[in-house]
Amino acid sequence: MIKKLFLLSVCLVSFASVAKEPPINITADSITFDHNTGRVKADGGVEATQGLSIMSAPHLEYDTKRSELIAWGGVTVKRPNEKFSLDSVVVGKNMANINAENLSVDMGDGASIRATKIKGTDSGIVFEDISYTACKRDPSCSLTWEIRANELKRDGETVQYYSAWLEMWGLPIFYMPYLSHPDPSIKHKSGFLFPSFGTSSELGAYIETPYHIAISNSESLILKPKFTSDEGINWGGEHEKKFSFGEIKTTGSYTNEDSIGHDRGHVFSYSKFNLDDVWRAYGNIEYATDDTYLRKYDISREAYLHNDVGIEGLSNRSYFALKLHKFQDMRSDVDDDLVPEVFPMVHFNRVFEPNSFGAYWNVKFDSSSLKYPTEEEQHKGSLNIAWTLPYITSYGLKLETKLSTRGDMYHYKNVTLPTDPDYTGTTTRILPQGSVKAEMPFIKVSENSTQILTPTMQLVSSANDNFNDEILNTDSTGTIFDDSNVFEENRYIGLDRAETGTRINYGINWSSFGNDFGKINAFVGQTFRLNSIDEFPENSGLESELSDYVGRLMFNPTKWLDAIYRFRMDKDTFEFERNELTLKAGSDINYVYLDYVYDQKNNETGIDDSASEEGYIQGSIGLTNHFGIYVMDRYNFSNSSQTMVGGGLQYTDDCFNMKIGYRKEYAKDRDYQGEEKIYINFIFKTLGGVGE
């Protein structure tokens, strides 16, 4: 009987009946049973524990004849992520005979329900005169938002409201005869998601009404139709499936655009599968019907789409990958005939165990086959065998000696070379190389800071025979000399070019770590060539024996300021050929973010050799602790034109985010004529978002 007593109380607060209950442990100051009346009484610190649920009450009675439970004086039940509190409760023979007053439910993720009364019905438990919110309840101030309703039903999966008002800061904003949303404890349930809406110069007024379909606990589908006033309906969707060994996520859309009268759309699919502890397979598919569709519908702004599938394995000191790459270029100034398929691409890397002296061998193999729409083909393979000996002296000098030999083989079909406009054949080359690198850190420790000064010097010598006229350069263009590759043995990317000759790389790095002022880091470096080789293009910084200066400054003295500056300075004129600055200063509400790039480009790619200079700034000023205004601007200094401007009003607290803003983009690309957009975005914690 006692077990039934507490089983009924647990059913009350959990709103669910469980077929097999775990044992209940009961403690109280006193437990008595009156044989005449059939009443069980427990008084003084009554506590019942069942599984992860704990019920507490000062007084509790159970009438065995009427099967009625009464608890009063303040009843609480604690469960994982939830806490129930009631002034008093009466439970009859079943859940339809429940009456309780002043219920408080603190649910997971900060959500809570308050109700003046609850009662049982044949269809479940009904809460009367309720308030639901995910905001922290503070008697001294109004809630940012809450839902007030005459009645609420909670079945463990869904929270349903009848005759409800959405109140914000104590003021009624929106009336809803009926509203439902998933229970905060439920992470996966079918139903409508909050719509997004706005207005755009490209699409007109639009609204997107997503519907989430919970196929299973590991699979979901979201239907996302977007209704626009100027271009009709854009049918979108998103599917996601998770496995114990991987996942697949696919998004797509389709429209028959009113303004041009033909089909447009896209498909993006990303998947990965762990075959075992060593091997993994993956596949990424990106396709659009045309170059400007993704930008017009604000899906993606990438310059090209990348399709690749492959398999890779990582075991101990070995890595192997077999890949296929296919690109869809979205730029108007790129000939599609110059975009190849790459299959197969093979990469293998093996680092062997060090010997007793610490020396180790490294074997790398790379190969790829490029096939062009013009029926040109390029097949290349490269094998690199290297021996490395690291050594640290007793006084802290760190030395690294490396010897390597690289062999390359190229086979071409119907390609254009400087010596032959329609060349088919095979060519090879051998590239031996040796290097010695030395760095010596000097450390100074004081009461409030630690400073480390590290001068570094590296000697690298390679074979001079690199630029064979029978080797095309398709993957080693766009070389950038900066602080990140001063000490690279080969500053070219890809396989087609290798840095040759003898050179000395040197630089000095300084870091300071303080207890009161955070971290500061500075670096400057340069390269000196012992022989004159005309291999790097003009304005690369490496075109002469003595290179330009490159460096960086990282400044993070407090959590309110984080700045990184990188530069390349002409060795003769001391003019800056490249500047990069990224800066974030301030707090979440009051801040300024700056991103600036200047680059004196070289003409190696043959696409655009003009200097580029662009800046982006975004700032916010807090009007109160939560309200603020923000602005953003992207400006192209190269042609003195705006790229994008925008701004708006924002609000942020623990349970609600809001943005109301305007954005204008000036870039034009064929049928995309730039865009003006007004957007509104509300995010209610536990409920979801409304707006763009």
Give the pLDDT confidence score for residue 610 in this predicted structure.
64
Please write the tens of the pLDDT for every residue from 452-469: 999 999 999 998 765 667
Domain residue limits at 169? 2-188
CA 380 to mean position of chain CA atoms: 35
Please write the tens of the pLDDT for every residue from 576-585: 999 999 999 9
- Assign 56 a pLDDT band (cuts: 50, 70, 90): confident
Residue 47 lies in a domain: yes
Which one, of 685, 687, 678, lies nearest residue 198 by Cα?
Answer: 678
Residue entry with tokens 């623990």: 654
- Assign 17 a pLDDT band (cuts: 50, 70, 90): very low
Instruction: Tell me the percentage of the chain whose pLDDT exceeds 70.
Output: 91
420 Cβ partners below 8 Å, 6+ apart? none
Q: Which stretches of 455-592 are DSSP H helices? A: none
Does the structure show a pLDDT above 80 at 82? no
Give the pLDDT confidence score for residue 1 in this predicted structure.
36
Does the structure show a pLDDT above 50 at 10? no
Mean pLDDT, rounded, of the chain: 86
Give the CA angle between residues 533, 538, 544 to the nearest 5°: 40
Please write the tens of the pLDDT for every residue from 604-650: 554 455 678 999 999 999 988 889 999 999 999 988 888 899 999 99
One-letter amino acid at 520 equals: I
Distances from the Cα of 279 to the Cα of 314, 315, 366, 475, angstroms = 7, 9, 19, 28
Q: Out of 126-130, 243-247, 389-393, 451-455, pick the least confident.
A: 126-130
* Residue 294 contacts residue 330 (beta carbons within 8 Å): yes
Does the structure show a pLDDT above 80 at 6? no
Please write the tens of the pLDDT for every residue from 368-383: 999 988 889 999 999 9
Q: Average pLDDT for residues 179-195, to the nearest whole number?
A: 75
Please write the tens of the pLDDT for every residue from 537-572: 888 888 889 999 999 999 998 889 999 999 999 999
Give the CA angle between residues 33, 37, 40 to the nearest 5°: 30
Highest mean pLDDT of the ranges 72-76, 145-149, 506-510, 570-574: 506-510
Which one, of 205, 204, 208, lies nearest residue 196 by Cα?
Answer: 208
Q: Average pLDDT for residues 51-70, to the nearest whole number?
A: 80
Q: Average pLDDT for residues 255-266, to the nearest whole number?
A: 82
* Residue 69 contacts residue 5 (beta carbons within 8 Å): yes
Does the structure show a pLDDT above 50 at 14? no
Residue 168 lies in a domain: yes
Distances from the Cα of 99 to the Cα of 68, 129, 280, 328, 476, angstroms = 11, 14, 57, 65, 77
* Residue 105 contacts residue 131 (beta carbons within 8 Å): no
Residue 354 lies in a domain: no
Q: Average pLDDT for residues 113-137, to the nearest whole number?
A: 83
Give the pLDDT confidence score for residue 260 in this predicted structure.
67
Does the structure show a pLDDT above 90 at 35? no
Does the structure show a pLDDT above 80 at 276? yes
The torsion defined by the Cα of 323, 326, 330 and 332, in degrees rounded to 10, comes to 120
692 Cβ partners below 8 Å, 6+ apart? 196, 197, 198, 677, 679, 680, 681
- Assign 251 a pLDDT band (cuts: 50, 70, 90): very high
- Assign 5 a pLDDT band (cuts: 50, 70, 90): very low
- Assign 50 a pLDDT band (cuts: 50, 70, 90): low
Full DSSP string of 141-188: S--SEEEEEEEEEE-SSEEEEEEEEEEETTEEEEEEEEEEEE-TT-S-
Residue 494 lies in a domain: no
Domain count, the chain: 1
- Assign 259 a pLDDT band (cuts: 50, 70, 90): low
Residue 532 lies in a domain: no
3-state SS class at 294: helix
Please write the tens of the pLDDT for every residue from 331-353: 877 777 778 889 899 999 999 99
In sequence order, the β-bridge partners of residue 246 are 243, 273
- Assign 450 a pLDDT band (cuts: 50, 70, 90): very high
The alpha carbon dihedral of 97, 103, 108, 112 has a sign of: positive
Give the pLDDT confidence score for residue 525 in this predicted structure.
97
Phi, psi of 13 (to 5 degrees): -85, -20
- Structure-model confidence comparison of residues 470 and 518, the more confident one: 518
CATH number at residue 166: 2.60.450.10
Residue entry with tokens 């524990």: 49
Give the pLDDT confidence score for residue 385 in this predicted structure.
98
Does the structure show a pLDDT above 50 at 21? no
Q: Average pLDDT for residues 502-509, to the nearest whole number?
A: 96
Residue 103 lies in a domain: yes
Residue 363 lies in a domain: no
- Structure-model confidence comparison of residues 7 and 447, the more confident one: 447
Residue 509 lies in a domain: no
- Structure-model confidence comparison of residues 686 and 297, the more confident one: 297
- Structure-model confidence comparison of residues 1 and 304, the more confident one: 304
Biggest alpha carbon–alpha carbon distance for the chain:
114
Does the structure show a pLDDT above 80 at 107? no
- Structure-model confidence comparison of residues 670 and 315, the more confident one: 315
* Residue 303 contacts residue 295 (beta carbons within 8 Å): no
Q: Out of 222-226, 504-508, 539-543, pick the least confident.
A: 539-543
- Assign 324 a pLDDT band (cuts: 50, 70, 90): very high
Q: Which strand (E) or helix (H) includes residue 9?
A: helix 2-14
Please write the tens of the pLDDT for every residue from 666-689: 887 777 777 888 888 888 887 777
Instruction: Tell me the percentage of the chain whose pLDDT exceeds 90.
Output: 45
Environment class of residue 358 by beta-carbon count within 10 Å: exposed (0-12), middle (13-18) or buried (19+)? Answer: exposed
- Structure-model confidence comparison of residues 93 and 247, the more confident one: 247
**Residue 3: left (phi > 0), alpha (psi -120 to 50), or beta?**
alpha
Give the pLDDT confidence score for residue 562 in this predicted structure.
94
